[in-house]
């Protein structure tokens, strides 16, 4: 559970730094791409729990 929390905090930190310094975000620019990232993350977390 701590790895999930650390990952979420790290993702928020990277997004905040990209926004603060006006760097293009390293994330997909479309909703479908964002859902793909969420699905891969959910699969990774689920596999880790199993």
Tally of structural domains, the chain: 1
Distance spanning both ends of the chain, measured CA to CA: 13
pLDDT of 1 reads 67
pLDDT of 46 reads 80
pLDDT of 35 reads 79
Burial class (CB in 10 A: 0-12, 13-18, 19+), 10: exposed
- Backbone phi and psi for residue 27, each to the nearest 5 degrees, phi listed first: -125, 160
Both tokens assigned to 45: 């977390």
- This prediction has a pTM of 0.53
Per-residue confidence in pLDDT tens, the chain, 50 aa: 687 788 778 877 887 887 788 888 766 777 877 777 888 878 887 888 88
Domain that holds residue 40: 2-49
Distance of alpha carbon 49 from the chain centroid: 18
Both tokens assigned to 18: 């990209």
């Amino acid at each position: 559970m701590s790895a999930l929390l650390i990952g979420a905090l790290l993702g928020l930190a990277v997004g905040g730094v990209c926004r603060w310094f006006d760097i293009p975000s390293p994330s997909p620019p479309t909703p479908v791409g964002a859902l793909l990232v969420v699905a891969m993350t959910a699969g990774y977390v689920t596999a880790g729990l199993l």
